[in-house]
């Protein structure tokens, strides 16, 4: 089969219908800002990039990760008009249509993965809402209802003959739900870069997985202001050698854009240029390890200006295109840079128990 285009973007206006109320950071405006950015950089006109509508997931897709009772609870709660679902303080705001939209979020990610697996595209990104990486089997959490990326990984392992999946989570928050789902599973190498000591508080250096999954979970809890130079050093010097030993058949990316220095919820220091560099690295390792196949799944990212440049920068890198991004790499205060490099050394030491590094 001939590849139709380099990069598939899965997007639909259905994702604007998950309404979270005024002043909620996880708003439909996020996706509008991304689409505006893609148009501004004229990326949607490029033959290397294709946009397609999502499909709706089936209930049995959700059951790959979530319990029947939990799925029913979310559906009933939304159909009764919505409100705040979940534990006090970290509940997820839902409207009547949120369950339906969440089905399209899962379906959009599965389409993004299947169209790459089927050879139609080399890589893909699902620009979806609501996000997913905080949701666990029976619990909504941190703006997330269903764990889109965990469902995609299970789908690949169970239905598409994939043996090993690498999940790279570069959202500024630890993907506690994703790690929990695969905590004891050695088929999934989960690597997270997140800001230390912020929500949800999980993802310490020592959280390496349990049972057969021990050594297959890797966490970089980073200090504020951490910039792309540190990310790339960690990716190249710590993650890459382990990846070559793990030999993934597919790569999934929890594509958070809240590590951008403008983000109002977090304090990390990536620039839009840095996002392009990180996605360039992903494209490069995918080339070697999976024949180029990977799928990015939108998670957080709450500053509209940052979204409108960081996402185009990432997508251009995915498609192998060069665009002029007007942003500046941030300098780190010396003591924080040293702290960040200390985290890398610490992770390396912990991982040396399991991998040749």
Q: Where does this chain bind Zn ion (CB under 5 A)?
A: 171-173, 256, 258, 300
Min separation Cβ 207 and Zn ion, Å: 17
Element (H, E) at 288: helix 272-289
**Of residues 54 and 256, the one with the C-beta less far from Zn ion:** 256
Q: Is 66 a catalytic residue?
A: no
Residues 171/254, Cβ–Cβ less than 8 Å: yes
Paired with 125 in beta bridges are 9, 296
**Of residues 155 and 173, the one with the C-beta less far from Zn ion:** 173
Tokens 């702290």 sit at which residue? 339
Paired with 52 in beta bridges are 10
Instruction: Tell the burial category of 240 from Cβ atoms under 10 Å away from its Cβ (0-12, 13-18, 19+).
Output: middle
Other CB atoms within a 10 A radius of the CB of residue 113 amount to: 27
CA dist 18 → 59, 92, 103, 306, 312 (Å): 19, 11, 11, 21, 23
**Of residues 251 and 259, the one with the C-beta less far from Zn ion:** 259
Min separation Cβ 354 and Zn ion, Å: 27
Paired with 214 in beta bridges are none
Min separation Cβ 83 and Zn ion, Å: 23
Min separation Cβ 322 and Zn ion, Å: 28
**Of residues 221 and 292, the one with the C-beta less far from Zn ion:** 221
Token readout for 103 is: 């089905």
**Of residues 6 and 258, the one with the C-beta less far from Zn ion:** 258
CA dist 317 → 20, 53, 68, 125, 281 (Å): 31, 22, 39, 12, 9
Residues 162/185, Cβ–Cβ less than 8 Å: no
CA dist 66 → 132, 137, 184, 187, 320 (Å): 12, 4, 16, 19, 36
Min separation Cβ 26 and Zn ion, Å: 9
| Preceding peptide of 272 cis, ω within 30° | no
**Of residues 192 and 290, the one with the C-beta less far from Zn ion:** 192
Min separation Cβ 45 and Zn ion, Å: 31
**Of residues 171 and 303, the one with the C-beta less far from Zn ion:** 171
CA–CA separation, 20 and 43 (whole Å): 29
Q: Which of 18, 134, 173, 174 is catalytic?
A: 134
Residues 132/148, Cβ–Cβ less than 8 Å: yes
Token readout for 24 is: 């909620």
Judged by phi (left if over 0) then psi (alpha if -120 to 50, else beta), residue 83 lies in left
* Residue of minimal Cβ distance to Zn ion: 300
8-state DSSP, 304: H
CA–CA separation, 199 and 134 (whole Å): 10
Q: Enumerate the active-site residues.
A: 134
């Amino acid at each position: 089969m001939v590849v139709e285009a380099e990069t598939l973007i899965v997007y639909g206006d259905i994702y604007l219908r998950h309404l979270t109320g005024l002043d909620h950071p996880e708003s439909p405006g996020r996706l509008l800002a991304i689409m505006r950015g893609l148009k501004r950089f004229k990326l949607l006109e490029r033959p290397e990039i294709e946009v397609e509508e999502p499909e709706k997931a089936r209930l049995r897709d959700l059951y790959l990760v979530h319990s029947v009772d939990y799925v029913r609870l979310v559906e009933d709660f939304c159909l009764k008009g919505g409100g705040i679902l979940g534990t006090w303080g970290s509940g997820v705001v839902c409207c009547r249509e949120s369950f339906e939209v969440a089905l399209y979020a899962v379906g959009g990610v599965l389409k993004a993965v299947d169209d790459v697996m089927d050879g139609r595209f080399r890589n893909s990104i699902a620009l979806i809402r609501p996000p997913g990486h905080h949701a666990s089997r029976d619990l909504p959490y941190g703006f997330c209802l269903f764990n889109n990326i965990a469902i995609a990984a299970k789908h690949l392992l169970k239905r598409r003959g994939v043996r090993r999946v690498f999940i790279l989570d570069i959202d500024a928050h630890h993907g506690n739900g994703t790690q929990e789902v695969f905590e004891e599973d050695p088929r999934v190498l989960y690597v997270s870069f997140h800001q230390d000591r912020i929500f949800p508080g999980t993802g310490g250096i020592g959280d390496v997985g349990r049972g057969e999954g021990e050594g297959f979970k890797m966490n970089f809890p980073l200090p504020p202001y951490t910039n792309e130079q540190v990310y790339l050093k960690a990716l190249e010097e710590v993650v890459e050698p382990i990846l070559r030993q793990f030999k993934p058949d597919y790569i999934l990316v929890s594509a958070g854009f809240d590590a951008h220095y403008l983000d109002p919820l977090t304090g990390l220091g990536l620039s839009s240029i840095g996002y392009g560099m990180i996605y360039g690295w992903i494209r490069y390792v995918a080339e070697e390890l999976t024949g180029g196949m990977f799928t990015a799944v939108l998670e957080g990212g709450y500053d509209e200006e940052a979204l409108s440049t960081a996402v185009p920068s990432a997508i251009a890198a995915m498609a192998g295109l060069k665009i002029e991004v007007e942003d500046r790499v941030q300098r780190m205060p010396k003591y924080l840079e040293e702290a960040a490099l200390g985290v890398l050394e610490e992770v390396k030491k912990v991982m040396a128990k399991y991998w040749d590094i």
